Amino acid sequence: MKKHDLVKSIKAKESMLCIGLDTDIKRVPAFIKNNYDNPILEFNKRIIESTKNHCVAYKFNIAFYESMGSSGWQALDESLNLIPQEIFTIADAKRGDIGNTSMLYARTFFETFDFDSITVSPYMGSDSLEPFYGYEDKWVIILGLTSNKGSFDFQMQELSDGRKVYQKVIERCLDFGTSNNTMFVVGATKPEYIQSIREIASDHFFLMPGIGKQGGSLELSLQYGAIDDYGLLINSSRGIIYASEGEDFNEIAHSEAMKLNRSIAEHITY
């Protein structure tokens, strides 16, 4: 997907919402687990049908699928095929290895599964990321400053020149791609740092987890992160797909997606 198509979709739907399909078999309602051969697929199908008009992206956390073996990979493939072509798809795989291995990771998620994007770890440097840039209209989403507590262990460490490690990483990664094929993961749980990251990556999209269950501030994330062409994908996973564990879970997911969109619209002009 090209950047202008993503921006067009955001404007048309008046939504920057990315819904995380982090589908855990332990949290799938019992009536689905007891009545369907592939309950993960059925759960995703109902979520997608209920929310597809209110989001511009879906993010699949790959760990939830690969942990189930062949049935999980099948559910991933079939769920991906349910998503309308105009909706941006993210393989949240956090891959990154030596070049030959990254080439196969890229082939897996850009050819075998045909995702629009993949999250990657930049820790091993440029040669681990280059293979992901070999695909036209595909996006590389680089871990910048993540939303978890452990980000303070390494990402927040100060370098000799006064910069933080995450700042150095993002600055260096700007050389690998462009704002037309590179995004950064920027956690909403650290709003005080979003402005400094936006100063470094002034026209790149940010994939922003941490709103909702993790306690990130939507208002501050939008204040510091949004730009003229929006520049944000606000991710919500558990807060939407697990808002209810009853038979109405898809209806409640629809309501929660609309509610989050209304909250975003209070701070953004489309």
Q: What residues are annotated to the active site?
A: 94
Rounded distance between C-alpha atoms, residue 119 and residue 143, angstroms: 7
In single-letter form, the type of residue at position 81 comes to N
Helix (H) or strand (E) holding 123: none
**Closest by CA position to 176, among listed 146, 201, 209:** 201
Rounded distance between C-alpha atoms, residue 51 and residue 259, angstroms: 12
CA angle 211–119–25, rounded 5-degree value:
65
DSSP assignment string, 166-193: HHHHHHHHTTTS-TTTEEEEE-TT-HHH
Q: Determine phi and psi for 98, rounding to 5 degrees.
A: -60, 160
Grouping H, G, I as helix, E, B as strand and the rest as coil, residue 266 is coil
Q: How far is the CA of 74 from the CAs of 57, 226, 253, in angstroms?
A: 21, 36, 24
